[in-house]
Structure 1
Amino acid sequence: MIDLGYSLSRRFPDPPQTDYGRADVRALRHDLFCGDVYLADTQKDQELSTAWGWVPVLDFAWALCDIVERLDRDPQGSRSARRQQAELDFTESADRMLFERRFGWVDVTADWVPLEEPPLTFNHAALRREARDFLHDLVADLTDMHEGLGDNPIIWDLLSRFPRV
């Protein structure tokens, strides 16, 4: 079972004068909603998480949805033995999360995890579903907290690109 989550940082609050309804892509992806994120396999009790406090959580959710789609470009889909790789690099850091799909399974590792630790392994379809659910739930939370965010056309476009599965 996949668990995706986040916490917003108190050390890096959003600027109080922010107009969330007019925030551009750069602000939404890199300047706002900083905190930490985690990706966990609850059956194996294994987790990849950040503890830096400055990860843009909306960007993480957005990038994760992009990566899951990028890993699905092989026409053979889950029957493909060819490895497909992608990485999520964190702003302001050299750290990366690495994704590798083979057949219908995705291995997820990170630069900051010891090499002897096994990767998290998820079914691709389940990871797609959970990534999209996480994005929609995160946007709903952020919209409740920040007036005008729900009126931002970039958010509308984002949610329409990655509808719930």
Structure 2
Amino acid sequence: MLDIGYSLSPRFPDPPQTVYREADTHTLRHDLFCGDVYLADTEADREISTAWGWVPVLDFAWALCDIVERIDADPRGSRASVPQRAELDFTESADRMLFERRFGWVDVEADWMRQDEPPLTFNHGKLRREARDFLHDLIADLTDLHEGLADNPVIWDLQARFPRV
């Protein structure tokens, strides 16, 4: 079972003068909603998580949805034997999460994992569904917390680009 989650950091609050209705893509992706994120395999009781407090969680959700689509670029889909790879880099750090799809499975690992620790492995379809659910749930949480965010056209486009599966 795959679980994707987040927590917002009280150490890095959004600037009080932010007009969420008018925030541009760069601001939404890199300057707001800082915290930590995790991907967990609940059956194996293992997770990959950040503990830095400054990860832009909306950017993480957005990038994760992008990556899941990018590693599905081979027209043969789950029959493709050639690995499809992508990485998610964290802007303020040299750390990365690495994704590799072979057949219908995606291995996820991070630079900060121990060398002897195996990657987390998820079904690609499940990862796609959970990533999109995470994005929509996160947007719902953020729009409840921040007045005007639900009226931002960037948020509308993001929700339309990655609808729930």
State the secondary structure of the residue aligned to 2:107: strand
State the secondary structure of the residue aligned to 1:106: strand
CA distance in 2, matches of 1:84, 1:71: 5
CA distance in 1, matches of 2:158, 2:50: 24
Q: Show the 5 A alignment for 1:1-165.
A: 1-165=1-165
CA distance in 1, matches of 2:59, 2:72: 20
CA distance in 2, matches of 1:73, 1:91: 25
Q: Structure 2: 5+ residue runs without aligned partners?
A: none
2:99 partner letter: F
Which deviations, in whole Å up to 9, do the C-alpha atoms of 1:21-57 show, x marking residues without a partner? 0000010000000000000000000100000000000
CA distance in 2, matches of 1:143, 1:91: 24
CA distance in 2, matches of 1:134, 1:114: 26
2:57 partner letter: V
CA distance in 2, matches of 1:104, 1:76: 11
CA distance in 2, matches of 1:74, 1:43: 29
CA distance in 1, matches of 2:27, 2:54: 14
Q: TM-score, normalised to structure 2's length?
A: 1.00
CA distance in 2, matches of 1:37, 1:141: 15
Tell me which stretches of 4 or more aligned residues in structure 1 moved more than 6 Å. none
How many aligned residue pairs are there?
165
How big is the shift at 1:115?
1.1
* Identity rate, percent: 79
